[in-house]
Copies of this chain bind each other. A is one copy, B any other.
Amino acid sequence: MALIVQKYGGSSVANAERIKNVAKRIGAVHDRGDQVVVVVSAMGDTTDDLIKLARQISRNPDEREMDMLLCTGEIVSCTLLAMALQDMGYDAISLSGAQAGIRTDSAYSQARITGIVPKRIHEELKDGKIVIVAGFQGITKEMDMTTLGRGGSDTTAVALAASLKATVCERYTDTDGVYTADPRIVPNAKRLPEISFEEMLELATYGSKVIHPRAVELGELYNIPVLVASSFNNNPGTLIHGGPLAMEIRNKVRSIAQDTDVAKITIVGVPDKPGTAASIFEPLAKSGISIDTIVQNTSINNITDMTFTIARTQLKKAMEIITPIAKSFGAKDVINDPKMGKISIIGTGIQNTPGYAARMFRALSNRDINIQLISTSEIRITCIIEESKVAEAVQALHSAFELEKPD
């Protein structure tokens, strides 16, 4: 008897019919004799609707109140899913984050799980029940409700799987798994049957929306295999795991990620002396602005240019912070371009194998796509290009690395 943690996203439980469909899938797992703990997101657009409602009340709603408000979305979907299972004759129970023992710090809207006390879950499993847990939420020592921020339900599922020592965490959404590229851009993209945690982490961080990087990190940390599959069909999906990958898929580009939510800021004429970078990036970090790629040119006469990218929505705020600081240390100018995109090739070992970078740059230049910034990791090469060229670039790279061909 295995213990399976399943997670269903908002689109999988968007209405009564879909909830019943999900209940059937869960029932089938129980029927084959496995224990099941299910984590659910809020139904469809519930979270967005609640946020809209709050904005009608206050432009800047308090985060504690906002978290308590948003927690109701997952409580609704998990009670409905429990009812659907009961209606089919299964013994099921819904648990809020608090009831499931998901303890967090009190960083409202982006709380971190500090521990899980799965006593109640174990009791209910022992009673033969299917346990449905509200995702995305937890509770502080003071009994205040928190939300885990973006990717929160994925994080709940993987953390629960780790805490319960589950065999696997199965994450179901409306996508079939991880592809060699986004199938909406590259119609002949192939589904990958498996991928390593490291590769998936880079893919997720560099634009793939299939699973949130936090959940992947957690899976890696506790070595919980994560299956990413669709709740709308029975395709096998993609298994993200830490075991050895088959030889033939090493040293090869596995997938291409793209991100079109990118803005670029360049500080022109920065005096190249110690502390400059810190004085720029510390205030940004304090304002919650995540810096992505940072590039600093070779310094000429102790003057350099510093360029970095951020999410487009944070550009205005970042410019307001950066401009006076740049002025204060005598930079010439601060310029920005809000319409940037990011494309990345990812594959274990590609950094150690000569020729990948060159082939990437050549494929882009053949299409007259200008590379503005380059950043690399051990298993990834990223180019920052104009947003309007992103789809074309993904297609060019998919073809250049022959990802449509069988392994």
Binding site for B on A (CB under 8 A): 16, 19-20, 50, 53-54, 56-62, 64-66, 68-69, 71-72, 75-76, 79-80, 82-84, 86-87, 93-94, 96, 98-99, 120, 143-145
Contact of A99 with B143 in the complex, beta carbons under 8 Å: yes
A132 and chain B: residue at smallest CB distance = B65
- Expressed in whole angstroms, the minimum distance between the Cβ of A296 and any Cβ of chain B is 43
Cα separation A96 to B20 with both chains bound (whole Å): 29
The smallest beta-carbon distance between A303 and chain B, in angstroms, is 48
When A64-B93, A93-B64 are in contact, do A16 and B56 touch as well, CB less than 8 Å? Answer: yes
Q: Is the beta-carbon distance between B72 and A54 smaller than 8 angstroms?
A: no
Chain B residues with Cβ under 8 A from A65's Cβ? 79-80, 82-83, 86, 93-94
Chain A at the B interface: SS class: helix
A-B contact pairs, 24 of them (CB 8 A): A16-B56, A53-B76, A54-B79, A54-B80, A57-B87, A58-B87, A62-B86, A64-B93, A65-B80, A65-B82, A65-B94, A68-B79, A68-B94, A68-B96, A69-B76, A72-B72, A72-B75, A72-B76, A96-B145, A98-B98, A98-B143, A99-B143, A99-B144, A120-B143
Q: Please, how many angstroms separate the alpha-carbon atoms of A86 and B83 in the complex?
A: 37
Complexed CA–CA distance, A50 and B58 (Å): 25
Residue of B nearest to A20 (CB): B57
12 other A-B residue contacts (CB within 8 Å) besides A59-B87, A62-B83, A69-B76:
A16-B53, A20-B57, A57-B87, A58-B83, A58-B86, A65-B79, A66-B79, A68-B79, A68-B96, A69-B75, A72-B75, A99-B143
Complex partner residue of A61 from B76, B83, B98, CB under 8 angstroms: B83
Question: What are the 7 A-B residue pairs with the smallest beta carbon separation, nearest first?
Answer: A16-B56, A72-B72, A58-B87, A69-B79, A61-B83, A65-B79, A58-B83
Q: For residue A87, which residues in chain B have a CB less than 8 angstroms away from its CB? A: 57-61
Tell me whether B75 and A71 are in contact (CB under 8 A). yes
Nearest chain B CB to A116 CB, angstrom units: 15
Q: Do the beta carbons of B82 and A75 come within 8 Å of each other? A: no
Q: Give Cα distance in the complex from A53 to B59, angstroms.
A: 30
Decide: B75 and A57 in contact? CB cutoff 8 A: no
Residues of B within 8 A of A54 (CB): 79-80, 83
Q: Distance in Å from the Cβ of A247 to the closest Cβ of chain B?
A: 48
Chain B residues whose CB sits within 8 angstroms of the CB of A64 once the complex forms: 93
Q: CB distance A84 to B99 under 8 Å?
A: no
What distance in Å separates the Cβ of A256 from its nearest Cβ neighbour in chain B? 41
The distance from the CB of A125 to the nearest CB of chain B, in whole angstroms, is: 16
User: Considering the chains assembled together, what is the distance between the CA atoms of A145 and B75 in angstroms?
Assistant: 11
Whether A62 contacts B75 by the Cβ 8 Å rule is: no
Q: Which of A20, A60, A72, A143 has the most CB of B within 10 A?
A: A72
Q: Within the assembled complex, what's the spacing in Å between the Cα atoms of A220 and B199?
A: 68
On chain B, the residues within 8 Å of A98 by CB distance are 98, 143
Min CB distance A183 to B, Å, is 32
> Bound complex: CA of A82 vs CA of B72, how far in Å?
16
Q: Within 8 Å CB of A50, what residues of B?
A: 76
- Which chain B residue lies CB-closest to A75? B72
Residues of B within 8 A of A16 (CB): 53, 56-57
C-alpha spacing A99/B98, complex, angstroms? 11
Give the docked Cα–Cα distance between A64 and B68 (Å): 21
Could you say which residues of chain B place their CB within 8 Å of the CB of A19?
57
Name the distance in Å between A156's Cβ and chain B's nearest Cβ. 17
